[in-house]
Structure 1
Amino acid sequence: MSQRFLLTIAAWAGACFVVYATQCPPRDRPTFPILSNLEHVAAFAVLGALFCLAYPRRTSAVLIFVLGSAALLEVLQLLTPDRHARTLDALQKVVGGAAGVFAGRVILYFDRARSWFQV
């Protein structure tokens, strides 16, 4: 299997996990031993980086998808009685997603730059 294929699987699996963690009842929600604010940022940063690396020629589509899903998942919490949507949570997810896409672009840039100097 190619590296790109594995990145694509990881990106979509990560997206499924984030959707589940965002929409499931609080008692079923996976938690990590870090602050929830940092958890939001980290989850979407990883998601943004994975999608950016999986789809390197579609950065604007990746950015729209990651940032849009951050906002949409927060709005969907308004439809569930046991979850609550907060503007701060949405902002943290958007910042994390943007940082992840930026990190993915940096990784791609340095990977490409490294190949320039190889003989």
Structure 2
Amino acid sequence: MSRASRLLGWLILAAIVAATVAPIGYRPVSGAPVSVERFGAFALLGFLFAVGYPRHRWRVLLLTIAAAGALEAFQLLEPTRHGRIADFMVKVVGCGFGSAASLAAGLIWPPLSPRDEA
């Protein structure tokens, strides 16, 4: 399970990077409010990485938040994009929600919890 979560997490991160730094005309649109899209993408990212790297959930949370900040900053390099603090905050909440959801999922379905290897 963790191997699949890691692979999906890296694929989602690549998709987020592509969608975030590409010109605005190439940004995929789901029809949902943009804040919901941002929150959902980073919640999924946080969840998949936290499940994929269960012994490093705090690091995963910090790294996904750092990725959100870096991506907002990179948007300043693209003339059709804009990095905003409010957008960053939505992404941070999504990262936290995804990480917390992985903890809850581990309580409900123990294979998602880290195993003691002694």
- Normalised to the residue count of structure 1, the TM-score between the two structures is 0.88
CA contact (8 A) 1:56 1:108 kept: no
Residue deviations 1:49-89, cap 9 Å, x none? Answer: 00000000001110111111111100111111111111110
SS class of match (2:109): helix
Match of residue 40 from structure 1: 38
2:28 corresponds, among 24, 27, 30, to 30
Provide the alpha-carbon RMSD of the alignment: 1.6
Determine helix, strand or coil for the equivalent of 1:33: coil
Corresponding position: 1:94 with 2:92:
yes
2:12 to 11, 14, 26: 14
Aligned to 1:64: 62
Counterparts of 1:60 and 1:102, CA distance in 2: 10
| Percentage of pairs with the same residue | 33
Structure 2: how far apart are the matches of 1:67 and 1:109? 24
Q: Which runs of 5+ in 2 are unaligned?
A: 112-118
Over alpha carbons, which structure has the higher Rg?
A: 1
